Amino acid sequence: MDSLISKNDKSVLQMILNPNLPFTEQEDNIDSVEDPDAHFDAVKVEKVKELEREGVKLAENKKIVESLSCFDEAIQILPERASAYNNRAQTKRFNNDIDGALEDLNRAILLGNNRGKVVGLAFAQRSIIMKLKGDDEESTKDLKRAAELGNKFAKQELVQRNPYAALCNQMLSQVIGELQGKSDES
């Protein structure tokens, strides 16, 4: 049945199923944005990525100080690359350094020029912090921006925050399921 649905139909269904999300026909092209690391020295990028992987592993093992050290080193090597700021922000958030996390998220968003997967993650993380601080309006704005950038968590969260959208989603899914059942019988 999926081949019977046009790109425009998919966009309309997306708008109906998720009314909180921005309407876009380019959703499928979100990941086709240029490589954010293309303008950096490849050797430095590989070193920084290795440091970030190590930092993430250390954070997962609750070795926060060592994790932060890895992200700090990655930032020293490539201070204009957004990813390490985003990862360090998450580690700072785990360590209850909310102001430090917000500072790093703002820096990641700025360095990422408001586009790309890392920036989507940064907006989603900042949204969580804003929600915890009781600023629902800013939290929702950040979630919408993260969703525009293709962040799946943000898309799901926006729908969950809107009970009407969740009900519409459930009803429409039921109707589509019934229609699929009828087309399978023919």
Q: What is the residue type of 95?
A: N
**Token pair 């920084």 in the structure block, residue:** 48
Pairwise CA distance, residues 79 & 85, whole Å: 9
- Taking CA atoms, 93 is separated from 70, 143, 148, 161, in Å, by 16, 18, 24, 23
> What DSSP string runs through 30-67?
GGGSPPTTTTS-HHHHHHHHHHHHHHHHHHHTT-HHHH
- For residues 67 and 61, what is the distance between their CA atoms, to the nearest angstrom? 9
pLDDT tens-digit profile of 18-28?
444 444 433 44
Please name which of 90, 95, 134, 130 lies closest in space to residue 108, comparing C-alpha atoms: 90
Q: How far apart are CA 60 and CA 54, in angstroms?
A: 10
Q: What is the pLDDT of residue 19?
A: 47
**Cα 50 to Cα 72: distance, rounded to the nearest angstrom:** 13
CA distance 133 to 102: 12
75 neighbors 84 (Cβ within 8 angstroms): yes
Using the predicted structure, report yes or no on whether residue 168 has a pLDDT greater than 80: no
The residue among 64 and 156 whose pLDDT is bigger is: 64
Q: Of 117, 126, 136, whose CA–CA distance to 20 is shortest?
A: 136
11-63 pLDDT per residue, tens: 544 544 444 444 443 344 344 446 778 889 999 999 999 999 999 999 999 99
Mean pLDDT, to the nearest integer, of 143-154? Answer: 88
Six token digits for residue 132:
């915890």
- Its pTM stands at 0.69
**Cα distance between residue 186 and residue 183, in whole Å:** 5
